[in-house]
Amino acid sequence: MQYDSTLGAALIGGFVAAMSYGIMSLQTYNFFQQYGQGATVLKHIIRTLWAMHTLHFAFVAQGVYTVLVTDFSNIAAITTSPWSIGAASFVNAIMTMTVHCSYCHRVWKLSNNSRFPIIPLVCMAIATFAFSLSSDIKLLILPSFSSYKSTEWLLFAALVCGCSTDLCIALWLCWWLLRQRKGLSGQTHSMVNTIIVYTVATGLITSVVALAELITGAALPDTYIFIGIDFFRGGIYTNSWMASLNARDRFRRDIRPQATVITSVHFANDTTTMSSASAPTESQERAPPGIVIEKIEV
């Protein structure tokens, strides 16, 4: 029995889960600081996700404590799953489902309430949750990891469906943004490109984590590596979603047209100075030679 790939993997997964929970708490605080007067439903969803993330981390911490402290030096205990690990995975499935539903709602609104993109995405999200729920129930009921191996295909199916859902949502959002980009120019065009890259990155992060758990679970079933990854996989979903919400204000500021305030107009052959605080008109921006316009960009 190698402790590096069992207890060590659980410990590292717990550390990453702790960091993920801390980042989620910070992002939740930032959201309510920026959008305290925003939509009530969205705020309730965020509060619920943060509460679930808190519960998830509590289960992870209890599971890691049980494995490393309570069952210390008990070799036989390594092959059994503490109840808290199954409970953490159950909360993980609910968080993932919530984030998937939020993204599906975004796709539905952007598609003008069209059924074409939303029905397959919702079906994949439901399949992900169903397989995850079945896998978690088996993990809670079965006494050991060795007996759980016969039902590992449920976990693998959940990971495949989740990875597919993430990629399909990201690809659809990118396709929609590419369509909206036509006819744009300058800074707005560049900002849409930035949003596309951001969308692809968030979709890839969750997909890569799910794929890593799938590969390690299939290739190294006798270790805790895939369990350690599962400790923070749900946190990756919630943090990616919260990051997209908190980034809205920055994107809006970047694409908002800059206002130009004219502070003074100096005539080349005169000492007369005229001050103005209004935005420049087209004639002011195209001032004739001999007139210097001092501007402050805000």
Q: What's the rounded Cα separation, in Å, for the pair 117 and 169? A: 9
Domains detected in the chain: 7-255 (1.20.1070), 260-297 (no CATH)
Judge whether 81 and 139 are in contact, CB under 8 Å. Answer: yes
| 132 pLDDT above the threshold of 80 | yes
Record the pTM.
Answer: 0.79
Pairing of strands 260-267, 273-274: antiparallel
pLDDT value of position 261: 41
Q: What's the rounded Cα separation, in Å, for the pair 153 and 56? A: 23
- 292 phi/psi in degrees, rounded to 5: -105, 120
Average pLDDT over residues 263-274: 44
Q: Quick one: CA dihedral 218, 221, 225, 226, positive or negative?
A: positive
SS3 content of the chain, % helix, strand, coil (to 5): 75, 5, 20
Give the model's confidence band at 255: pLDDT under 50 very low, under 70 low, under 90 confident, else very high.
Answer: low
| 9 pLDDT above the threshold of 60 | yes
Nearest to 248 by CA among 106, 99, 41: 106
Helical pair 115-141 and 152-181, crossing angle rounded to 10 deg: 160
| 294 pLDDT above the threshold of 70 | no
| 298 pLDDT above the threshold of 70 | no
Residue 119 is which amino acid? I
Which residues, listed in sequence order, are joined to residue 297 by a DSSP beta bridge? Answer: 260
